[in-house]
Structure 1
Amino acid sequence: MVKSLLEKIAMDRRSFVAIASMGALISSSASAAASTDDARAVSALLTEYQASWNAGDAARMFRLATDDIHWVNIVGMHWQGKAQAELAHRAYLETMFRGVPLTLEEVESIMPLGADALIVVARWNIGAFTPPDGQAVPPSKDRMSLVLHRTSAGLRIAHGANVQINQAVQQFDPAKGTPPA
């Protein structure tokens, strides 16, 4: 399912780019309504994700996922399928993330890809924790990219990837006009 969804996303993205380059074909009011609906649905999903994390409830969290979800965690582990992703999250939520708060700071972008998917980038605040290597990690900000699939039950996470933001190097972002030294 993920492979066919990603193939469709690639096709829909090419169509989206072609349409966008020809000019707006949808009225701004219809476009704004769709964006508002998407924003509300994304907000509801992320609110539930945050609540399930803070409750330490991996089963609740992965009710938000497709059965064939792919998840890449903050240190590059790649979990495939709901059972594997839920198992890994459960293990960490019951140990190093037990009681560690997660708070949504901002939804940075929502990009629709056809009728079936959205790409979302969200920024989170996460409390301090100690991973299995024993090296304490102070509170930080993370950036999460999600591919969300529209289903009859609402949005579901088809792919997630989480990256810890390195604050010390943000000042050297070439895309923001501050090239590296």
Structure 2
Amino acid sequence: MKKILILLGMLLPVLSTNAQSKTDEVSAITKQVDEMVNSWNKHDHSNMKNYSTPDCSWVNIVGMWWKNLKEVEYSTQFYHTNMFKNTTMVNKGVNVRIINPTTAIVHFKSFVSAFTTPNGQQIPGSDDIALLVYVKQNGKWLMTAGENVVIDSLAQKNDPVLHMNK
């Protein structure tokens, strides 16, 4: 019994440190997502290098694939100058799954307000979800890939998971 207590006494601090470390990592990643939201709401993406890798890629909501930071920053800024200049983005939730000490998957839910397309079509605000991949480089979490989609509220009612035995 004494050996078990000694072993538990040695393991508990390690487990506690690991849990705290994971919480710190999730917090650091969430702050990086917040930086992306701040860039959107300021309509200025010149600081993207602070939260993205140089080789990051992004597939946007209509399937355009931008393959490095230069393309992602240029295209995002282009749309904010021309189409999203009056929009706001609201963070509706960040779910972080640490894959290993240097890789994380993030599901990021947001609401983007209404906007007008270049051809004059009015698009209502929508709930969106993005899948983001973060890597830790030089002690900092950076987005290396992302893709976002509109959440179709009508289709959500037919999600089979809603009727699954749990």
Tell me if TM exceeds 0.5. Answer: yes
Per the alignment, residue 104 of structure 1 pairs with: 91
Quick one: which of 140, 156, 159 aligns to 1:173?
Answer: 159
> 1:34 is matched with which residue?
21
SS at match of 1:162: strand
* Residue matched to 2:125: 139
Unaligned runs of 5+ in 1: 1-26
AA aligned opposite 2:160: P
Alignment equivalent of 2:63, drawn from 73, 76, 80? 76
CA distance in 2 between partners of 1:29 and 1:128 (Å)? 45
TM-score by length of 1: 0.78
Separation in structure 1 between the aligned mates of residue 136 and residue 79 of structure 2, nearest angstrom: 28
Q: Deviations over 1:70-121 (max 9, x none)?
A: 10001111000111111100100111100200110111x2111222110000
Partner of 1:91: 78
Name the aligned partner's letter for residue 150 of structure 2. Q
Question: Number of residue pairs matched?
Answer: 152
RMSD across aligned C-alpha pairs, in angstroms?
A: 1.8
C-alpha separation in 2, matches of 1:129 and 1:174:
32
Does residue 164 (structure 1) correspond to residue 140 (structure 2)? The answer is no
Q: Which residue of 2 aligns with 1:50?
A: 37
Mapped partners of 2:110, 2:148: distance in 1: 10
Identity %: 30
Distance 1:78 1:164 in 2: 16
Task: Write the letter of the residue equivalent to 1:51.
Answer: N
User: CA shift at 1:135, angstroms?
Assistant: 2.2
Q: Give the residue type in structure 2 aligned to 1:103.
A: V
**Aligned equivalents of 2:49 and 2:113: distance in 1?**
21
Kindly provide the CA deviation profile for residues 98-156 of structure 1, in whole angstroms up to 9, marking residues without a partner as x. 0200110111x211122211000010011001122432111111101100010125111
CA distance in 2, matches of 1:42, 1:170: 28
Structure 2: 5+ residue runs without aligned partners? Answer: 1-13
Q: Is the 8 A contact 1:53 1:61 kept in 2?
A: no
Deviation at 1:34, TM superposition (A): 2.9
> Letter of the aligned partner of 2:76 in structure 1?
H
Runs of 4 or more, structure 1, over 4 Å off, are none
